[in-house]
Structure 1
Amino acid sequence: MKTILITGSSSGYGLETARHFLSNGWSVVATMRRPDAGLLPRSEHLRLLALDVTDPSSIAAAVAEAGPVDVLVNNAGIGVVGAFEATPMAHVRKVFETNTFGVMAMCQAIIPGMRQRRSGVIVNVTSSATLAPMPLASAYTASKQAIQGFTGSLAHELGAFGIRARLVEPGYGPTTRFASNTEVPATDLIPAAYSDFAAPIFAGYANPGPTTRESDVAEAVWLAATDPSDRLRYPAGADAVALAKAA
């Protein structure tokens, strides 16, 4: 039985991915800052661990308790919405600490074991914003773009050791509570000078048309984790697939 460790499993894409792998007979280590099994099915193959990807001691403890991992899914992420001009650098750094440096730290913690076993898959979840950058999300987009380049480079480094690095690029999914973890209302970061520009964008967010489902992302992660090819990118959701084809 293979083992997958998923960060950010308390809701959204991470939660659905944990469910998907459990239903397919995997051993799942579902991690989150405050472990809560309420939304996951009871299973002898499920372990819940506390993990804050911005805390080195938390990472070390979780990885040690998890034991050998066949697949790492770096899904934990936060966002901030607003005009960059009005976004305090403290908020920008908070986004990068989770979305960029947290992913890198998890990779550094997991890679040695995979390298010794000469097998493993690292799946980094980014965003279709890396394919078509969204307005009013510059810090978020930059944090995810960094992981796009990082993962491509990592794939070259680790291939010689039998380790595959992959990107899953979800489209727009309003159920992911995009900016909730930063606790910064978007309206606080829209100066009056941007009001006319921002209004139609927020209207579009409220009525986006076809969106990416959580199951779309779980299925893309599954494909990325089990595909034996050298493929790097896996767009998730019809909107992301269309953007990837146009890129």
Structure 2
Amino acid sequence: MPSVLITGCSSGFGLETANLFLDRGWSVIATMRTPDPGLLPSSDWLTILSLDVTDRDSIASAVAQAGPVDVLVNNAGFGAAVPIELIEFETARQLFETNTLGTLAMMQAVLPAFRERRSGVIINVTSTATLKPLPLVSTYRASKAAVNALTESLAVEMQPFGVRVHIVLPGRSPTTQFGANARPHLRGFDDPDYKPMIEGMIKQFQEDTGPVTYAEDVAAAVFEAATNPSAPLKIPAGADAIAWMADAA
């Protein structure tokens, strides 16, 4: 039975991805900072572990408890909508420590075993926000664009060793906790120059009736990357993500 380790399974994309792999008969190691067994159905093939991707000791412990895995899905992350001028430096640091360095640390934790046995798949969930300039999400975008760059180079490095590497790029997803988690970091409403920009972006987001990305879209894209040896390096997830990828090509 193949096994998958997924980070950030407490909600949204990670939770849906864990459910899909369980439904398809995989052994699933679902990780989250604060384990909650009630989030996923009881199963002999499910292991829930505590994992903080910004803590190297936590990573080492989780990977050791997980045992050999066939697929790593780096999904854990958070966002912040703040103008570059106003973002608190600590928030910027947290974005890169979680989204970028956390992903790098997880990859380093599994790569020796993958390389030794000449098999394995790494799937990094980033964002279509990396495909074109957008206001207010610049630091988040930069942290995810860095993951894209890491993944692209890793794919080349791992090719001789039979290890596949992929990027899944979701679009806008109003059904996840991303917006709620990003809201506490918002700055600029009290600034006369930035307030109109922020209010305009919020209004545009609220009134946008175009296609969006659902958690099941991301789960399906991750499963495709995990199971299809011919899957491309970059896989859009969601109708809007597919359109953005086409425009960026």
**Bin of the TM-score, shorter chain as denominator length:** over 0.9
- What pairs up with 1:155-170 in 2 under 5 angstroms? 155-170=155-170
TM-score, reference length from structure 1: 0.96
**1:120 aligned to 2:155?**
no
Please tell me whether the aligned partners of residues 127 and 171 of structure 1 are also in contact (alpha carbons under 8 angstroms). Answer: yes
Give the whole-Å Cα distance in 2 for the aligned partners of 1:245 and 1:182: 27
Give the whole-Å Cα distance in 1 for the aligned partners of 2:204 and 2:25: 39
Give the whole-Å Cα distance in 1 for the aligned partners of 2:122 and 2:188: 34
String of CA shifts for 1:90-141, please: whole Å, max 9, x gaps: 1100000000000000000010111111100000000010113331101100
**1:42 aligned to 2:46?**
no
Deviation at 1:83, TM superposition (A): 1.1
Give the whole-Å Cα distance in 2 for the aligned partners of 1:83 and 1:177: 21
Please tell me whether the aligned partners of residues 211 and 237 of structure 1 are also in contact (alpha carbons under 8 angstroms). Answer: yes
Amino acid paired to 1:148: N
Deviation at 1:37, TM superposition (A): 1.8
Report the secondary structure of 2:134's partner residue.
coil
Deviation at 1:183, TM superposition (A): 6.7
String of CA shifts for 1:144-171, please: whole Å, max 9, x gaps: 0001111000000011111011000000
Deviation at 1:43, TM superposition (A): 0.7
Give the whole-Å Cα distance in 1 for the aligned partners of 2:180 and 2:93: 16
String of CA shifts for 1:51-73, please: whole Å, max 9, x gaps: 00000000000000000010000
Deviation at 1:84, TM superposition (A): 1.3
Find the counterpart in structure 2 of residue 100 from structure 1. Answer: 100
Please tell me whether the aligned partners of residues 54 and 97 of structure 1 are also in contact (alpha carbons under 8 angstroms). Answer: yes
Report the secondary structure of 2:212's partner residue.
coil
Report the secondary structure of 1:41's partner residue.
coil
Find the counterpart in structure 2 of residue 138 from structure 1. Answer: 138
Structure 1: give runs of 5+ residues left out of the alignment. none
TM-score, reference length from structure 2: 0.95
Report the secondary structure of 2:31's partner residue.
strand
**1:214 aligned to 2:215?**
yes
Deviation at 1:198, TM superposition (A): 1.9
Deviation at 1:207, TM superposition (A): 2.8
Find the counterpart in structure 1 of residue 51 from structure 2. Answer: 51
Give the whole-Å Cα distance in 2 for the aligned partners of 1:236 and 1:182: 21
Give the whole-Å Cα distance in 2 for the aligned partners of 1:54 and 1:208: 34
Amino acid paired to 2:152: G
Q: Would the alpha carbon gap of residues 72 and 126 (structure 1) be closer, same or farther in structure 2, given more than 3 Å must change? A: same
Please tell me whether the aligned partners of residues 87 and 189 of structure 1 are also in contact (alpha carbons under 8 angstroms). Answer: no
Deviation at 1:176, TM superposition (A): 2.5
Q: Would the alpha carbon gap of residues 58 and 98 (structure 1) be closer, same or farther in structure 2, given more than 3 Å must change? A: same
Give the whole-Å Cα distance in 1 for the aligned partners of 2:216 and 2:40: 15
RMSD over equivalenced CA pairs, Å:
1.3
User: Higher mean Cα deviation, 132-141 or 161-170?
Assistant: 132-141
Give the whole-Å Cα distance in 2 for the aligned partners of 1:106 and 1:89: 24
Find the counterpart in structure 2 of residue 234 from structure 1. Answer: 235
Please tell me whether the aligned partners of residues 188 and 198 of structure 2 are also in contact (alpha carbons under 8 angstroms). Answer: no
State the identity %. Answer: 53
Find the counterpart in structure 2 of residue 9 from structure 1. Answer: 9
